[in-house]
């Protein structure tokens, strides 16, 4: 399934009142999607359920972004990021994503859920070149070292702005 879609330059923009929701098991296999998810991505429910969430991974997204996500989730914390996703027809859409551990009554992590909404234009403008640089770093450093080095680049960028990663996310959300 993965990588069969050729990305195009067609952008799908979310409306202010549209929220894209999905749930996964602990490995990122999709267990639930809402209607807006299907409408925006162009996939039907049977095409999504039971499938790895990377089905909508866009090649413009650096691996480091997802490495950082999984590291944060594995610490039991929620994660925020600006993400460019790939539709079934090759179009793309930007989201401001929140991913949270789904914890059962015994305190065990049984999966994750994600709610995404329309990002600010300022966020897309800031993150696009940053992700491009991260991708370049990953290409130069190779699969093993790449994600770690690109995460370091992301942290360096945050430091240059005198912000933590989360502060950067919120600053861009209010920009
Ligand atoms: C709840 C949840 C939501 C996710 N949402 C997305 C998403 O919208 N887009 C995406 O590319 N990956 C998403 N992921 C991450 C994917 O599972 C995967 O780690 C990522 O696409 C990188 O895939 P790859 O390592 O196979 O390249 C999500 C993971 C979880 C647990």
% of the chain exceeding 90 in pLDDT: 97
Name all residues whose Cβ lies below 6 A of ligand 1: 22, 24, 28, 52-54, 56-57, 61, 66, 83, 85, 99, 112-114
Task: Give the Å distance between the CA of 109 and the centre of ligand 1.
Answer: 17
pTM, two decimals, is 0.96
In a domain, 87, yes or no: yes
* Per-residue confidence (pLDDT) for residue 3, from 0 to 100: 56
Tens digit of each residue's pLDDT (9 = 90 or more) over 43-60: 999 999 999 999 999 999
What is the number of the ligand 1 atom nearest to the C-alpha of 116?
8
pLDDT of residue 4: 80
Q: How far is the CA of 85 from the centre of ligand 1 (A)?
A: 10
Residue 165: its pLDDT value, please? 97
Q: Are strands 109-117 and 30-33 parallel, antiparallel or unpaired?
A: unpaired
Judge whether 114 lies within some domain.
yes
Establish if 167 belongs to a structural domain. Answer: yes
Instruction: Render pLDDT for 106-135 as a digit per residue (tens, 0 to 9).
Output: 999 999 999 999 999 999 999 999 999 999
Substitution site in 7, 28, 93 for ligand 1 pocket (most atoms within 8 Å of beta carbon)? 28
Please determine, for residue 2, whether its predicted confidence score (pLDDT) is greater than 70: no
| 36 half-sphere exposure, CB direction, 13 A CA radius | 18
pLDDT value at position 34? 98
- The enclosing domain of 86 has a CATH number of 3.30.450.20
Angle between helices 121-160 and 165-173 (to 10 degrees): 150
- Predicted confidence at residue 150, as pLDDT, reads 97
CB 51 within 8 A of CB 30: yes
CA of 87 to the centre of ligand 1 (A): 14
pLDDT at 97: 98
Domain with 135 in it:
20-173
- Give a yes or no: residue 111 inside a domain: yes
Is the pLDDT assigned to residue 12 strictly greater than 90? yes
Mutate to test the pocket of ligand 1, among 48, 54, 73 (most ligand atoms within 8 A of CB): 54
- Atom 19, ligand 1: residue with shortest CA distance: 66
- Mapped onto helix, strand or coil, the DSSP state of residue 84 is strand
Q: Are 156 and 150 in contact (CB under 8 A)?
A: no
Q: Give the length of the chain.
A: 175
Residue 12 lies in a domain: no
Q: Dump pLDDT digits (tens) for 72-89.
A: 999 999 999 999 999 999
CA-nearest residue, atom 23 of ligand 1: 54
């Amino acid at each position: 399934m993965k990588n069969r879609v050729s990305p195009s330059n067609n952008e799908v923009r979310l409306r202010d009142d549209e929220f894209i929701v999905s749930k996964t098991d602990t490995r990122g296999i999709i267990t639930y999607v809402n209607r807006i998810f299907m409408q925006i991505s162009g996939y039907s429910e049977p095409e999504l359920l039971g499938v790895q969430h990377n089905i909508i991974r866009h090649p413009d997204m650096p691996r480091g972004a997802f490495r950082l996500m999984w590291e944060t989730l594995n610490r039991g914390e929620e994660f925020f990021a600006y993400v460019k996703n790939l539709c079934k027809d090759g179009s793309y859409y930007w989201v401001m994503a929140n991913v949270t551990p789904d914890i059962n009554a015994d305190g065990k992590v049984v999966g994750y859920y994600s709610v995404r909404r329309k990002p600010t234009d300022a966020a897309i403008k800031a993150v696009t070149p940053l992700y491009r640089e991260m991708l370049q770093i990953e290409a130069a450093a190779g699969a093993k070292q790449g994600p770690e080095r690109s995460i370091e680049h992301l942290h360096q960028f945050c430091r240059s702005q005198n912000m933590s990663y989360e502060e950067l996310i919120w600053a861009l959300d209010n920009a």
